[in-house]
């Protein structure tokens, strides 16, 4: 069993969930993040630093059996920061791992590298066709990972769909807040597009599988996502039903709504970025056959499992705040574990 694991981005939603799993299994974990980890444990050490710091990464990865590179930037970050963190950070982490002869680095990428693919389910062989700064940076980081793979490091590249679970906020907090307040929730068009998501517990399972699989099978690129999923209308309606107010998903005329949201996004008044807007107009799901056939990985959770688990966690957090009369911490909206600022979209509540 792999004994000492370095997790970059270990204070984030994926990183912290992974670290909890690894600690439960009795492993030694070293967390690298700009923030201290959210837990304390005898087997957990940490370094508060930037993954772009080559010297710090060299120290962090010394004596590691494997590195899991989760650290990244969000699509809402400034363009130069996105590229610097995602591409520069990947270069620094992999160079340090190579210098320290770490045999394996699990690189967390994204299906964003496909851009807005014309083929669904999208296979791993589909070309990388990025459409914005974030997806371009993710694609370039994969090229960096492939270069180090070619030089002898085993680098499993995992491409998950949008993942959910306890600890996830981001844009989903808007859906949860509106549902809890007893409001209807809008979708573009009929909402009948099929959008695949992924439960973070399944993603952690996939990471551990990629850590431990024989190198000849793990040293490849794999799509990851739920194998049971429906339409975005069905998933959002499941949240509204769970809230118990009898509210419904409401359709908005797709093209006018897209134009208005695009204008708000360009003006900095909405957190809904362009690629996401266009993705919501067409089916978006990937083939997961390769992960099943090569790694033997099968997810346990459906889309609705993931989104309802996340909503239940969110409700529990709200109730805990109310019981302790603790004011909600002001969110900067800079990580996926914080609710993103709704901007002008919060004004639309009165219409729903």
Domain boundaries, the chain: 4-164+197-224, 172-195+228-284+301-351
Q: What angle do CA 328, 332, 337 make, to 5 degrees?
A: 75
Helix axis angle for 232-243 and 172-180, nearest 10°, is: 40
Q: Would you place residue 340 in the very low, low, confident or very high pLDDT band (cuts 50, 70, 90)?
A: very low
pLDDT tens for each residue of 219-272: 999 999 999 999 999 999 999 999 999 999 999 886 676 666 666 556 654 555
DSSP per-residue letters across 222-290 = EEE--SS--BHHHHHHHHHHHHTS---EEEE-HHHHHHHHHHHHHTTS----HHHHHHTTS-B-B--HH
The model's pTM: 0.89
Contact 327, 158 (CB under 8 A): no
Whole-angstrom CA distances from 195 to 102, 152, 219 are: 37, 36, 28
**Which of 40-44, 227-231, 279-283 shows the lowest per-residue confidence on average (mean pLDDT)?**
279-283
Please state, for a pLDDT cut of 70, what percent of the chain lies above it. Answer: 84
Contact 36, 49 (CB under 8 A): no
Instruction: Give the closest residue to 69 by CA, choosing from 153, 130, 168, 173.
Output: 153
Q: Residue range 11-23: average pLDDT?
A: 96
Instruction: Give the closest residue to 109 by CA, choosing from 209, 206, 30.
Output: 206
> What is the Cα–Cα distance from 280 to 205, expressed in whole angstroms?
27
- Tokens 């851009």 sit on residue: 115
What is the Rg, in whole angstroms, of the alpha carbon atoms belonging to the chain? 20
- Tokens 């070619």 sit on residue: 150
Q: Which is more confident, 9 or 265?
A: 9
CATH number corresponding to 172-195+228-284+301-351: 3.90.25
Residue 282 confidence (pLDDT)? 86
- Is the bond leading into 121 cis (omega within 30 degrees of zero)? yes
Contacts of residue 25, defined as CB under 8 A and 6 or more positions apart, other chains included, come to 1
The class (CATH top level) of 4-164+197-224 is alpha beta
pLDDT tens for each residue of 287-325: 999 999 999 999 999 999 999 999 999 999 888 887 776
Whole-angstrom CA distances from 203 to 70, 195, 238, 278, 300 are: 11, 17, 22, 25, 10
> What is the Cα–Cα distance from 299 to 223, expressed in whole angstroms?
12
Matching CATH topology for 4-164+197-224 and 172-195+228-284+301-351? Answer: no
pLDDT tens for each residue of 99-142: 999 999 999 999 999 999 999 999 999 999 999 999 999 999 99
pLDDT greater than 80 at residue 332:
no
> Which residues are bridge partners to 47 per DSSP?
32
């Amino acid at each position: 069993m792999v004994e000492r694991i370095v997790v970059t981005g270990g204070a984030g939603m994926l990183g912290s969930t992974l670290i909890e799993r690894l600690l439960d299994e009795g492993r030694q974990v070293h967390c690298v993040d700009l923030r201290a980890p959210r837990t304390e444990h005898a087997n957990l050490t940490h370094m508060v630093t930037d993954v772009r710091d080559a010297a710090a990464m060299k120290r962090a990865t010394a004596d590691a059996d494997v590195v899991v590179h989760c650290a990244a930037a969000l699509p809402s970050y400034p363009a130069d920061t996105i590229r610097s963190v995602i591409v520069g950070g990947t270069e620094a982490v992999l160079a340090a791992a190579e210098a320290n002869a770490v045999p394996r680095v699990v690189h967390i990428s994204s299906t964003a590298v496909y851009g807005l693919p014309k083929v669904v389910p999208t296979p791993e062989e589909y070309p990388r066709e990025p459409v914005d700064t974030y997806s371009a940076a993710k694609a370039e980081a994969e090229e960096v990972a492939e270069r180090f793979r070619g030089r002898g490091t085993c680098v499993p590249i995992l491409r998950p769909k949008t993942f959910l679970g306890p600890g996830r906020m981001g844009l989903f907090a808007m859906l949860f807040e509106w549902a809890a307040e007893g409001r209807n929730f809008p979708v573009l068009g009929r909402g009948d597009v099929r959008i695949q998501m992924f439960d973070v517990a399944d993603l952690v399972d996939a990471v551990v599988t990629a850590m431990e699989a024989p190198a000849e099978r793990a040293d490849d690129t794999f799509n990851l996502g739920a194998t049971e999923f429906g339409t975005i209308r069905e998933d959002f309606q499941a949240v509204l039903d769970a809230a118990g107010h009898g509210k419904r998903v409401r359709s908005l005329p797709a093209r006018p709504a897209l134009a208005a949201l695009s204008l708000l996004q360009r003006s900095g008044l909405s957190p809904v970025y362009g690629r996401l807007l266009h993705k919501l107009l067409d089916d978006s799901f990937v083939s997961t056959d390769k992960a099943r056939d090569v790694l033997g990985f099968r997810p346990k959770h459906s889309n609705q499992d993931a989104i309802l688990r996340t909503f239940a966690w969110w409700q529990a957090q709200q109730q805990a705040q109310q019981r302790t009369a603790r004011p909600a911490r002001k969110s900067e909206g800079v990580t996926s574990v914080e609710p993103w600022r709704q901007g002008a979209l919060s004004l639309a509540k009165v219409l729903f």
